[in-house]
Structure 1
């Protein structure tokens, strides 16, 4: 009741300067302030006082029932608490949840059904908690690894295609015009344009510029989980894009050959080694012009 009394006195501008300062410094003040603003318009219509007086005089006089002012305060404070709880519930359940991994970072999190997700650098996932068990659907930009708990259909929607599973482990990567899906356990259904493919344990598929080709699966989980950037038939621009994401740097390429395809691995935790490998393969010279910028020139 002490908090209710404080709220009631605040609503009626009855706090001392010190009490008001302490209340404004509390973590919940901003929430109560918003609720006060939102509910300020909830006023009854104007009353015809003359008509009301005439009506009262024509009726039998009855002793008025006096409601103590503190009860009005308590009622209004209780209403604010109920409204606050409603807003909090809505924010936690109906507002989409967003998980992000910035450049040079990775993010792991658990979905409401205990499914596990690991986001690779420069990636984002959006989903809704409300009724999750019956609608396990999320949107992915970038790359993520999933360990899905058994249950209803689980869908990953990207701008390039969709992956649907029941319970499995798989990796989805959607970067620019390239879409990669690898199944490490169970079965996944991949939809890309007008093509639908079922992948089982140890299978993968890649779509790029509308063309389909298979990629080998040589491990039980994505290489980037263990700080290895894996490439399969990717050009140097795609390769450098991924290096920039993993190390949160900027790379400028001054080379004529940008079409040669690379299959192999680069370390995601040792930039100098990664630069040496790229320089050797493409006959380039890497120059570090600042802390976060690299320039590749032809030798």
Structure 2
């Protein structure tokens, strides 16, 4: 049986047991069911189609028995059109995600529908539903971003490792590789990680399941001012961040990338940034177009 016929019979609630099995085997069965459930909150305009049809037919003085015969198929067509329009509306508008992505060596500032502000770090992205935002303030994050949240209903940042919930505050979230870090700069933040809740006030930091004792005195993360700060971090993590901020490929030759390094580098001068990383470790670097090679001086 053709796909279109099956869907029409499904809309008419007219599938027998064999046809139901065929319908459930359709490639887009799950999507059709999802869209159908979504329509439970969609209200189509109130139209008295019965009275409208009768009025039109009365003008042509059609016999009553002909009106009854015509009404059955026309009512089904009207129902199909209303449901079809509702599905179309839900699919194109109500369920549409807005995605903002920052590429390598790029930072983007985005204003959300409630005037909350998001600063997105290099090679990071956020996504949210603009149509339902004022009813459900939830945003998905991959990478790192700094949030200035307008007061209102609960605001949630969803990541692959944990959730950050606030009412109105400023905080930074990093979700890269195995790291999940949250720093609260203003207000109060609730972090959910591995089914446990951690409450952060201004100055508190959270890193991969641990609420750190040392409070930050900074008013915002350093990266929004075009600097990357690192304290006792493996060299490989620093290299990864350098690649994100400058859109370069860094290779190493005879260097232990697990050794720890403390310092900072700027985002607007590659040579100065490279010297800030290599000099403390007594290593050298070579630049060949978009490729950087780090070598040990020994």
Q: TM exceeds 0.5?
A: yes
Number of equivalences? 217
Q: Which runs of 5+ in 1 are unaligned?
A: 1-58, 61-78
Contact map agreement 2:255 2:295 (CA 8 A) in 1: no
Per the TM alignment, residue 191 of structure 1 is displaced from its structure 2 partner at its CA by 1.5
2:113 is paired with a residue whose SS is coil
Report what 2:35 is aligned to.
none
2:217 is paired with a residue whose SS is coil
Contact map agreement 1:93 1:130 (CA 8 A) in 2: yes
Judged with a 3 Å threshold, the aligned counterparts in structure 2 of structure 1 residues 232 and 191 are, in CA distance, closer, same or farther, namely farther
For 1:15-36, what per-residue CA distance to the aligned partner results, in whole angstroms no more than 9, with x for missing partners?
xxxxxxxxxxxxxxxxxxxxxx
TM-score (norm 1): 0.67
1:245 is paired with a residue whose SS is helix
Structure 1: how far apart are the matches of 2:175 and 2:214?
Answer: 15
2:278 is equivalent to residue 276 of structure 1: no
RMSD of aligned residue pairs (Cα, Å)? 2.5
Judged with a 3 Å threshold, the aligned counterparts in structure 2 of structure 1 residues 214 and 121 are, in CA distance, closer, same or farther, namely farther
Per the TM alignment, residue 214 of structure 1 is displaced from its structure 2 partner at its CA by 5.0
Report what 2:185 is aligned to.
184
Report what 1:206 is aligned to.
207
Contact map agreement 1:246 1:268 (CA 8 A) in 2: yes
Structure 1: how far apart are the matches of 2:200 and 2:217?
Answer: 15
2:146 is equivalent to residue 145 of structure 1: yes
Structure 1: how far apart are the matches of 2:214 and 2:295?
Answer: 30
Report what 1:31 is aligned to.
none
For 1:225-255, what per-residue CA distance to the aligned partner results, in whole angstroms no more than 9, with x for missing partners?
1111122331011100000000011101223
Structure 2: how far apart are the matches of 1:213 and 1:219?
Answer: 15
Rg larger in 1 or in 2?
1
TM-score (norm 2): 0.67
Per the TM alignment, residue 216 of structure 1 is displaced from its structure 2 partner at its CA by 4.5
Per the TM alignment, residue 90 of structure 1 is displaced from its structure 2 partner at its CA by 5.7
Report what 2:290 is aligned to.
292
Structure 1: how far apart are the matches of 2:213 and 2:246?
Answer: 28
Contact map agreement 2:205 2:212 (CA 8 A) in 1: no
Report what 1:16 is aligned to.
none
- After superposition, where does 1:193-232 map in structure 2 within 5 Å? 193-207=194-208, 213-214=212-213, 216-232=215-231
Q: Which runs of 5+ in 2 are unaligned?
A: 1-61, 64-80
Per the TM alignment, residue 95 of structure 1 is displaced from its structure 2 partner at its CA by 0.9
Per the TM alignment, residue 126 of structure 1 is displaced from its structure 2 partner at its CA by 1.1
Judged with a 3 Å threshold, the aligned counterparts in structure 2 of structure 1 residues 139 and 219 are, in CA distance, closer, same or farther, namely same
Structure 1: how far apart are the matches of 2:265 and 2:111?
Answer: 28
Per the TM alignment, residue 89 of structure 1 is displaced from its structure 2 partner at its CA by 8.5
Contact map agreement 1:163 1:189 (CA 8 A) in 2: yes
Structure 2: how far apart are the matches of 1:250 and 1:215?
Answer: 34
Contact map agreement 1:94 1:129 (CA 8 A) in 2: no
Contact map agreement 2:263 2:276 (CA 8 A) in 1: no
Larger displacement relative to structure 2 (214-223 or 183-192): 214-223
Per the TM alignment, residue 130 of structure 1 is displaced from its structure 2 partner at its CA by 2.5
Contact map agreement 1:205 1:215 (CA 8 A) in 2: no
